[in-house]
Structure 1
Amino acid sequence: MKRLALGLGLVAIAGAGIAFALTAPRPVAADRLEAIAAIDGDAAAGETLFWAGGCASCHAAPGSEGDAKLVLSGGVRLSSDFGTFIAPNISPDPDAGIGAWSISDFANAMLAGVSPQGQHYYPAFPYTSYTRMTDRDIADLFAFLKTLPRSTVASLPHEVGFPFNIRRSLGGWKLLFFSDKPRVELAGADAQVVRGQYLVEGPGHCGECHTPRNPIGGFVSDAWLSGAKNPEGEGVIPNLTPGGKSIGGWSASDIAYYLESGFTPDFDSVGGSMVDVQKNMAKLTSGDRDAIAAYLKALPERANGWE
């Protein structure tokens, strides 16, 4: 009996050791970090990524408009079934923000969801989409962020209870759901659709809201962009595939015009949380908005993800 107990204890210890190793944060490979650090970031190009990525929508103070949206002091609250996540200060302030970060710190956050302290970030920060960004775009975005005003507003802690406050457990979540592979395979896609796929699946992180999730927060893989229940209140997030009633009947030019102007084909206007997204999309080039529309029209039809 003692030998059995000892054996079980050893198995438990070995299992715990394996789990601890498997859930360790995995930064970007050293050679890739060196390559990114060697890129001379273009702040002007980075501004496009800033708006495509919706950085101000979460990291500017709630209710900010105009130039105030460039002061990334944080504070937006994101409610979920796992707790409330509060966007941090990512201004260039060296103490309150990310001004003391290196390009490698930034790349690890964006591409691997790993903090400068070597901890997992919660996927409320959509690194699960940003991981598809190119090295050049990471360098350009970082260059642009460094040009923005500093803010000394301290970041607030997330309001997340046990067991979700155990960050190490996110390593297991990443093993299940974190990948830089395309969300859909579009065989024979032309250059415009490929560009749209990059913007939607990468910096635009559209799927973070428009794709349903399973009980532990992972995307339902065969329901990409099919819409989801609104995690922050009543109603649903629309189905963006050609099978959806919301925009399924829209033409590509209808979608592109909506992203530019905020007006639907039947002269309704954008509302809810999409208001900020549309304002960001309006700052992209017409070519990029056309590419997003072309990608959405190329998607396979999906039934509504919330049903």
Structure 2
Amino acid sequence: MIRRFIVVALVIGLAGFGVFWWLTIPARVLASALPAHTPDLANGQTVFNAGGCASCHATPAQPDRLKLGGGLPITSPFGTFYVPNISPDPAAGIGRWSEADFVTALQKGTSPSGAHYFPAFPYTSYQHMKLDDARDLFGFIKTLPQVAASSPEHDVPFPFNLRRNLGIWKLLFLDGAPFVAEAGKSPQWNRGSYLVNALGHCAECHSPRNALGGIIEKQRFAGGPDAEGAGWVPNITQKGLGEWSERDLSYLLETGQTPEGDTVGGSMARVIRNTSQLSAEDRTAMAVYLKSLPAVDGPVKPPRK
């Protein structure tokens, strides 16, 4: 009887493991799925700026935002992640990557070696990037300086360091849906929606997260505690920006200055260094979209001690 029980338990365990392994297979984009394409480098530069690539990937403590040597530490409740080198360096960076590798990273959150990326890399937003934009971005990055420095290994404790488990996380929080323009909205509003939600990935910082690290969708853009553990990220729905005009928002994205005359700091200052490079039309489109967000209550900010 005991022997039969052990055999049944082993069969069930193996079956369960097989289902887990199948569900967590890292997805890839095949090169054969990519039609012929000539990169538009000017558009690639726009995508680079809108996507905030330099905000995280530029080597810290040096002035050139186009030297993408990585190394920036990102702290979180799950450990410390170190931003990788994405310069064209063939050893330390992505110089040996194929275009399909790059598109796979953005759309599927999978590395060239077939491992799941941690979602500190905001592929939950980048998955909505248009294919041509992703390919133009890759073409632009390949024109940038090579940086030979390697980033430190992530400092993530067990069990969060088991990347295979991220396959389950992706089933919960990675929908794989492309960006679709909303019918009945203006081209300007849809451009702003695309810039904010897909490229700019604004919700990744400006939304509270649940215990698994996924965005709480009903409070999207409603602010909350800084995931890096330092301060509070503001609510950017009309609950927080109701008194701001579209011009105020566009001016902030250009200069970093608020209507009160303050200047943003911290990680938002790095964001402004990117959005300031966008066209006035794109900054206005982002402002139009953000001003259309309905008021949403976010988490309660704790009192200052």
* TM-score of Structure 1 vs Structure 2, range by shorter chain: over 0.9
- Equivalent residue of 2:22, what SS? helix
Residues 171 and 306 of structure 1: CA distance in aligned 2, closer, same or farther (over 3 Å): farther
State which of 21, 44, 48 in structure 2 corresponds to 1:50: 48
Equivalent residue runs for 1:183-198 within 5 Å: 188-198=184-194
Matched, 1:82 2:83: no
Superposition pairs for residues 14-33 of structure 1, below 5 Å? Answer: 14-28=15-29, 32=33
Counterpart pick for 1:208 among 204, 208, 211: 204
Deviates more, 1:176-185 or 1:267-276: 176-185
- The alignment-based identity, stated in percent, is 49
Pick one of 279, 290, 293 that aligns with 1:296. Answer: 290
| SS of residue in 2 equivalent to 1:243 | helix
1:238 CA drift (Å): 0.5
Is the Cα–Cα contact under 8 Å of residues 236 and 306 in structure 1 kept in the other structure?
Answer: no
**What is the alpha-carbon distance in structure 1 between the residues aligned to residue 102 and residue 242 of structure 2?**
37
How many residue pairs match? The answer is: 300
> Does the aligned pair in 1 maintain the 2:258–2:264 contact within 8 Å?
yes
Change (3 A) 1:306 1:90: farther
CA deviation map 1:119-152 (0-9, x unaligned): 1001111111111111110111011101000111
| Greater alpha carbon shift after TM alignment, 182-191 vs 134-143 | 182-191
The verdict on how the C-alpha distance between 1:62 and 1:92 changes in structure 2, with shifts beyond 3 A counting, is same
Q: Is the 8 A contact 2:104 2:111 kept in 1?
A: yes
For 2:176 and 2:254, locate their aligned partners in 1 and report how far apart those are by CA, in whole Å: 28
**1:204-229 Cα deviation digits (max 9, x unpaired):** 11111001100110110111111020
- Give the C-alpha shift of residue 236 in structure 1: 0.8
Q: Deviations over 1:183-202 (max 9, x none)?
A: 99966321111111111111
- Counterpart CA distance in 1 for 2:166 and 2:291 is 34
Is contact 1:96–1:154 with CA below 8 Å preserved after alignment? Answer: yes
Give the secondary structure class of the aligned counterpart of 1:202.
helix
Q: Distance in 1 between matches of 2:139 and 2:279?
A: 20
Is the aligned partner of 1:70 residue 2:66?
Answer: yes
Structure 1 equivalent of residue 10 of structure 2: 9
Q: Distance in 1 between matches of 2:211 and 2:181?
A: 25
1:273 — aligned with what? 267
SS in 1 for 2:5: helix
Query: For each residue in 1:80-104, what CA deviation from the matched residue of structure 2 results, as whole angstroms up to 9, or x when unmatched?
Result: 0011000111111111110111101
Equivalent residues in 2 for 1:115-264 (5 A)?
A: 115-181=111-177, 188-244=184-240, 247-264=241-258
**Equivalent residue letter for 1:282:** S
Q: What is the distance in 2 between the residues matched to 1:143 and 1:250?
A: 37
2:58 alignment partner AA: A
| 1:29/1:147 CA distance change after superposition, 3 Å | closer
Write the distance in 2 (CA, Å) between the matches of 1:305 and 1:39. Answer: 45
* 1-structure distance, mates of 2:138, 2:299: 35
TM-score normalised over the length of structure 1: 0.93
Q: Which amino acid aligns with 2:244?
A: W
What letter corresponds to residue 152 of structure 1 in structure 2? Answer: A
1:11-40 Cα offsets, whole Å, 9 max, x none, are 1110111011101101125653x22xx211
Distance 1:182 1:132 in 2: 5
Show structure 2 runs of 5+ residues with no match: none
CA contact (8 A) 1:212 1:306 kept: no
Deviations 1:45-101 (A, max 9, x none): 111111111111111111332xx2111111100000011000111111111110111
Q: 1: distance between equivalents of 2:105 and 2:204?
A: 17
AA aligned opposite 1:290: T
Q: CA deviation at 1:300?
A: 2.0
